[in-house]
Amino acid sequence: MAIANVTPDSFYASSRNTPVDRILEMIEQGADIIDIGGESSRPGAEYVSLKEERERVIPLIREIRRHSDIPLSVDTRKSEIAREALDLGAQIINDISAMEDDGAMASLIAAAGGSVVLMHKKGIPSDMQDNPRYDHVVEEVCRYLADAARRAEEAGIPRDKIILDPGIGFGKRHEDNRMLIREIPRLKELGYPVLIGLSRKSYIGNILDAPPEERLFGTLAADTYAALKGADILRVHDVKPHREMLDILGDLLWSG
């Protein structure tokens, strides 16, 4: 899943305001899904208005669809954005609030036949890193995601259209992120595909003492580990090196 931000303030500067030419390049490099986001969810970020998010996201979807039928995911918490995106041919809504922020989201996705990514976070982006605490982070995250998946199914979203994301960096301490990555098999026991998004995040930066621009190799190492642990989808900024990594793993471990 390749990240295509249409924002001026995402934490990794090179991922801001992604032009369609760059998205087509990511498709050529081997992206399986393009994830379009019009609202930054970095720590400290504020909500953007419906009007502003629409102006960022909807024209880009139209432009991509002029060139490619690649599966599109839209990273939004707003049902109105989701409705327009699905009408234009997006297939997945990636909701960091696990459909809690907008009460119309679940029924909308169900009616449209879309898929959904349900993510765990503690707090909201503007305050989520203000001293988060857990007693047993893996069990708490698993319980939250199981409940979110149950609600999605009760709203009419089929089980095979639900994806779970533990929310690396979303209201988590370094040790919480580490434990969730190590315990991907426990997340898999819930019975849904697992998405891991740790590309260039502070978890990598804390280990390497490096800014986002210098976290590619660390990201590749962590994503390799996540893939080996059973992650089904890797959400990444850098498609080509990840495609090559997965191709090598596929030949060594999953072929022949």
Percent of the chain with pLDDT over 70: 91
Among 151, 145, 157, 155, smallest CA distance to 195 is for: 145
Domain span holding position 140 = 2-253
pTM: 0.92
φ, ψ for residue 2, nearest 5 deg: -90, 135
User: Per-residue pLDDT tens for 118-136?
Assistant: 999 986 655 556 667 899 9
In this structure, are strands 195-196 and 2-5 parallel, antiparallel, or unpaired?
unpaired
As a whole number, mean pLDDT of residues 219-247 equals 97
Cβ distance 159 to 192 under 8 Å?
A: yes
Q: Does 172 participate in catalysis according to the annotation?
A: no
The CATH number that applies at residue 53 is 3.20.20.20
Q: Which residues of 8-23 are buried (b: 16+ CB within 10 A; e: fewer)?
A: eebbbeebeebebeeb
List the one residue out of 134, 83, 138 whose CA is nearest residue 112: 83
Number of domains in the chain: 1
Residue type at position 152: A
Phi, then psi, of 97 in degrees rounded to 5 = -95, 5
Active-site position among 151, 235, 240, 243 = 235
Catalytic residue, chosen from 62, 201, 215, 243, is 201
Question: What is the residue whose two structure tokens read 């059973």?
Answer: 230
Q: Is 159 one of the annotated active-site residues of the chain?
A: no
Q: Is the pLDDT of residue 255 over 80?
A: no
The answer to whether residue 44 scores a pLDDT higher than 80 is no
> Per mean pLDDT, which range of 15-24, 57-66, 160-169 is the poorest?
15-24
